[in-house]
Amino acid sequence: MEKRTIVALIILNRDDVAVKVQKLLTAWGCMIKTRLGIHDGVLDNCTQTGLLILEIVGEDEKINEFVRKLNLIKGVDAKALTLTLKTN
């Protein structure tokens, strides 16, 4: 059985929140296998909201703690999704 865990988070007020999120991502960085950050707009049309998608590895307990800490940051909404491929 193969398992993948994805953590998706929406960040509001990126100017205020991004540094806190980045510090947490750095502290938990060994668990982050893949990171994709998306926000609307560029240059003079840059928005204050962003979407971050992470592929996470590690024990479920640690992943849940990581998501809990992300959600403690005001302006962040994080959710974890675990996908399991069942093999015969």
**What is the number of H-type helices and E-type strands within the chain?**
2, 4
Domain range enclosing 59: 2-85
CA torsion through residues 48, 66, 2, 85, sign: negative
Structural domains in the chain (count): 1
End-to-end Cα distance, the chain: 9
Q: Does pTM surpass 0.85?
A: yes
Select from 73, 85, 28, 72 the least CA-distant residue to 54. Answer: 28
Average pLDDT, stretch 36-63? 87
Mean of per-residue pLDDT scores for the chain: 91
CATH of the domain at 59: 3.30.70.1150
